[in-house]
Chains A and B, each alone.
Chain A
Amino acid sequence: MAGSFAILSALARSVWRDLRTFGSVGGNNLMLFMLLVMYQQPQSGVFFLMILAVLMLGPLSGDPFRKIPRDRLALWPLAARERVALRVGSLALSPVVWVAIVFLFWTGGWSLGLVLMGGAVLMQAAGDVWGRWREGRLSAQRGVALPKFPGRWGGLVQKNLRQMLSVLDCYAALVLAVGGAVYRLAGAKADPDAFLILALVVVIALSTYAQALFGLDLPWGIARYRVLPLRGVEILLAKDVAFLLVAVVLVAPLALVPGLAGTLIALAVGHHASVLRPLPQMRWRFTGGTLWPSGSFQVFLLVAIGVATGRGSLWYLGLALAAYVGSLWYYGRMWDRGA
């Protein structure tokens, strides 16, 4: 059984390293916003915390056993009982199982704990079946199906959009936007300012990604950008168009113009970190940016300009546009200089 233990210990190390990648949420603007809200109103903060937790549960529920390369597993000289021990032991390494155990002891109720534990095992089995079903399928290889965009950079915009849709920030923003839209459609008599604030919270949820526009391209994609006959402004613009598309779709049912102003500011500030200090990112995680100074400036300025625009002064939308164009031009030149 020594072989199984050695493999399990390596698997535990791998799971632990994987868990640490979820720490990127600590540098996310939504986390900053949540902390500010919790400071004022702890109950409201719990709502945002739940959104983060639910979204992270998906990637966390992956089967640890699948981390072992299948070919490697087949090559190891393990007896049948060792393979069974490995399979059973790997279940104990699943973070979802740990959550179930915490609930078990916390609530003291065996029934709830066992239901959660069963749910965790079922979730892993379902993930395994889904993974095997998708293996080798065209749709799995191509990723999220997106329309082709026209023009010289159409392919770049499509790629950038696909990248953006593979980080959890988008889905946190989607949950908030859908919640707000349903609330509005339900005809509830809410304060109009509520939709303005909700639109800006949606932009905050997306804004960290504006600090890491090249985060999913690192390191090889950057080399491709460098050999393409494109100026820095064009490369940044192709990134921004994808970002704006997602943001506009999500804020449109809430408060389009203030949301757009906030989005332009998020991009204008985010270009600095994206071009000068690109941080590598991972798919299916929250984007990890820097809360100070980029994140704090983004949140403060996008809320200030968004609220000012929402209060009826379109001059502020013009100001946001001017800031965005200036930032695009400046950081585009920085890119050309090899920043």
Chain B
Amino acid sequence: MQFGDLKAVDQASFEIPAGRICALLGPNGAGKSTLMKMLTGLLAPASGEAAVAGLDVHKMPLEVRRMAGILPESLGLFDMLTVEEHLHLCGPIYGLSFEETRRRADQLIDALALENGRHTQAGQCSNGMRKKTALALALLHNPRVLFLDEPFEGVDPVTAQTIGEILQMTVKHGVTIFLTSHILSIVDRLADWIIVLRGGRIVWQGPASELKGSLEDLYFDLVEPLRVADLPWLGPSQS
């Protein structure tokens, strides 16, 4: 994928076994979201091909979207709709009856602790609530594959834990999950397949069990070393 002279993602080739949680790691600007957009048909690659559950993403975009649950980077919520209205709007689009949509919406609202915001418009929701709403939309139609762009960022620890457990439960039901995250501790706990991107290229990929050392060590070795700048004006003794 190329934007002008910049190659956002270059020569990325990988295959993820079904029923796994694959984490895509990398610093800001590494090309994670671009890769995610290409896999969900939101961006067309300049060359190469992508298939999800055997379906060519660019020849059959609607079929891919029907069987995939997507949490986009921007969350993709309508500011004027409430949490509940979002769920009620999307269910029928995926072929669910209104009764089934309501039933699942109630269960998702309960499971993701969204009850307090059920009737709050997305534009007035907290970031965590917006994220959980977008996640509920991704799960509503029982997808075979989940694409989650930074599902844990900006949510409280309890919510992050809840999301993690829901993801583990869906994987047990045979769903494949492809997620991006900067929170290495959560990725370390959840993911069983790791891909590390740097400058648009894959620099490491494989099962988490093949990691030598910790995920943090791998990340700082491959991606970028820690840097701490000194800010001498900080502190009570300074003016």
Partner of A224, one of B78, B92, B120: B78
Assess the B66–A229 pair: CB atoms within 8 A.
Answer: yes
Q: When chains A and B are docked, how far (Å) is the Cα of A171 from the Cα of B44?
A: 42
Assess the A221–B65 pair: CB atoms within 8 A.
Answer: no
Q: When chains A and B are docked, how far (Å) is the Cα of A229 from the Cα of B90?
A: 10
Partner of B93, one of A141, A163, A228: A228
Interface size of A as a range: 20 to 34
What distance in Å separates the Cβ of B159 from its nearest Cβ neighbour in chain A?
A: 20
Assess the A220–B78 pair: CB atoms within 8 A.
Answer: yes
What distance in Å separates the Cβ of B83 from its nearest Cβ neighbour in chain A?
A: 10
Q: When chains A and B are docked, how far (Å) is the Cα of A158 from the Cα of B121?
A: 15
Assess the A227–B72 pair: CB atoms within 8 A.
Answer: yes
Q: Tell me which of A122-130, A146-154, A184-192, A195-203 binds B.
A: A146-154
Residues in B with CB closer than 8 Å to A219 are 74
A219, A221, A230: which has the most chain B beta carbons within 10 Å?
A221
B70 is an interface residue with CB less than 8 A from chain A = yes
Residues in A with CB closer than 8 Å to B121 are 141-143
Interface residues as binary, A157-169 with B (CB distance below 8 Å gives 1, 0 otherwise): 0110011001000
Contacts A163-B80, A220-B79; is A142 near B90 (CB within 8 Å)?
A: no
Q: When chains A and B are docked, how far (Å) is the Cα of A143 from the Cα of B82?
A: 9
Assess the A141–B65 pair: CB atoms within 8 A.
Answer: no
What distance in Å separates the Cβ of A223 from its nearest Cβ neighbour in chain B?
A: 4
Residues 87-123 of B contacting A (Cβ, < 8 Å): 88-90, 92-95, 119-121
Partner of A156, one of B63, B89, B95: B89
Contacts A141-B119, A152-B93; is A159 near B80 (CB within 8 Å)?
A: yes
Contacts A223-B74, A227-B76; is A159 near B62 (CB within 8 Å)?
A: no
Assess the B93–A153 pair: CB atoms within 8 A.
Answer: yes
Residues in B with CB closer than 8 Å to A159 are 78, 80-81, 85, 89
B34 is an interface residue with CB less than 8 A from chain A = no
A13 is an interface residue with CB less than 8 A from chain B = no
Q: When chains A and B are docked, how far (Å) is the Cα of A245 from the Cα of B92?
A: 21
Q: When chains A and B are docked, how far (Å) is the Cα of A227 from the Cα of B61?
A: 9
Q: When chains A and B are docked, how far (Å) is the Cα of A230 from the Cα of B90?
A: 11
Contacts A141-B120, A223-B72; is A230 near B93 (CB within 8 Å)?
A: yes
Assess the A229–B62 pair: CB atoms within 8 A.
Answer: yes
Contacts A156-B93, A224-B76; is A141 near B88 (CB within 8 Å)?
A: no
Q: When chains A and B are docked, how far (Å) is the Cα of A228 from the Cα of B64?
A: 10
B166 is an interface residue with CB less than 8 A from chain A = no
What distance in Å separates the Cβ of B40 from its nearest Cβ neighbour in chain A?
A: 7
Q: When chains A and B are docked, how far (Å) is the Cα of A257 from the Cα of B17?
A: 59
B75 is an interface residue with CB less than 8 A from chain A = yes
What distance in Å separates the Cβ of B108 from its nearest Cβ neighbour in chain A?
A: 16
Partner of B80, one of A166, A224, A228: A166
Residues in A with CB closer than 8 Å to B85 are 142, 155, 159
Q: When chains A and B are docked, how far (Å) is the Cα of A138 from the Cα of B116?
A: 12
Assess the B82–A228 pair: CB atoms within 8 A.
Answer: no
Residues in A with CB closer than 8 Å to B75 are 220, 223
Assess the A229–B80 pair: CB atoms within 8 A.
Answer: no
B38 is an interface residue with CB less than 8 A from chain A = no
Assess the B92–A142 pair: CB atoms within 8 A.
Answer: no
Assess the A227–B74 pair: CB atoms within 8 A.
Answer: no
What distance in Å separates the Cβ of B232 from its nearest Cβ neighbour in chain A?
A: 28
What distance in Å separates the Cβ of B164 from its nearest Cβ neighbour in chain A?
A: 22
Residues in B with CB closer than 8 Å to A228 are 65, 90, 93
Q: Which residue of A lies closest to B88 (CB)?
A: A155
Contacts A138-B119, A154-B92, A155-B92; is A143 near B42 (CB within 8 Å)?
A: no
Assess the B92–A223 pair: CB atoms within 8 A.
Answer: no
Assess the A151–B72 pair: CB atoms within 8 A.
Answer: no
A338 is an interface residue with CB less than 8 A from chain B = yes
Q: When chains A and B are docked, how far (Å) is the Cα of A338 from the Cα of B45?
A: 13
B77 is an interface residue with CB less than 8 A from chain A = yes
Assess the B77–A221 pair: CB atoms within 8 A.
Answer: yes
A231 is an interface residue with CB less than 8 A from chain B = yes
Q: When chains A and B are docked, how far (Å) is the Cα of A219 from the Cα of B73?
A: 12
Assess the B42–A227 pair: CB atoms within 8 A.
Answer: yes
Q: When chains A and B are docked, how far (Å) is the Cα of A159 from the Cα of B78?
A: 9
Q: When chains A and B are docked, how far (Å) is the Cα of A230 from the Cα of B63?
A: 10
Contacts A226-B42, A229-B66; is A221 near B76 (CB within 8 Å)?
A: yes
Which residues in A have some Cβ–Cβ distance to B below 8 Å? Answer: 138, 141-143, 151-156, 158-159, 162-163, 166, 216-217, 219-231, 283, 338
Which residues in B have some Cβ–Cβ distance to A below 8 Å? Answer: 40, 42, 44, 62-63, 65-66, 70, 72-82, 85, 88-90, 92-95, 119-121, 124, 137
Nearest 5 CB-CB pairings of A with B: A155-B89, A224-B76, A223-B76, A229-B65, A229-B66
Would you give 28 A-B contacts (Cβ < 8 Å), ordered by A?
A138-B119, A142-B85, A152-B95, A154-B92, A155-B89, A155-B92, A159-B80, A159-B81, A163-B80, A166-B80, A219-B74, A220-B74, A220-B75, A220-B79, A221-B76, A221-B77, A222-B76, A223-B74, A223-B76, A224-B72, A224-B78, A224-B137, A225-B76, A226-B72, A227-B65, A229-B66, A230-B62, A283-B80
